[in-house]
Amino acid sequence: MKIGRVLTMREIENLSIPDEFLIEMKGNDSDSELVYTEYYKDSSEEHFKEISGETKKDILSIKDNVEINYNYKDGIGTITIKQKGTRAELLLSLFQEILLQLGFYYENSDIKEFFDYVKVYESWEEK
């Protein structure tokens, strides 16, 4: 299992890095749902309980519109996080998770370059 040392807006902390993750987002601009699922393989049930407890505590300390479920079966721990809100709110959550995941594989300067590649100048609704 990978562990990452991460500086968040609050403090430096050690985070368990999921072996796999799945993201699903559906809905419209005003009412959407983001479902993010992490899979932890090859961990003991006791260690997974520790990971899932820390994850739940961390998420609930910064977000209140989430539902968190976890399950452990046949050596695989699963944490599912469901968040409801506007598309803009959920895109921000998704963006933060992607930045976190990118940080485990790329340097900060590389990540900045990825995002400098795309610039949205404006958006509007067609009628």
How much is the pTM?
Answer: 0.78
Architecture of domain 18-116: 2-Layer Sandwich (3.30)
Q: What is the pLDDT of residues 59-109, one digit of tens each?
A: 888 887 899 999 999 999 999 999 999 999 999 999 988 888 888 888 888
H-type helices in 63-86, by residue range? none
Distances (CA, A) of 116 to 25, 30, 36, 97, 126: 24, 28, 26, 18, 27
* Closest of 91, 68, 65 to residue 78, by C-alpha: 68
Phi, psi for residue 98 in degrees, rounded to 5: -65, -40
Ramachandran area for residue 85 (φ above 0: left; ψ -120 to 50: alpha; else beta): left
Q: What is the pLDDT of residues 26-38, one digit of tens each?
A: 999 999 999 999 9
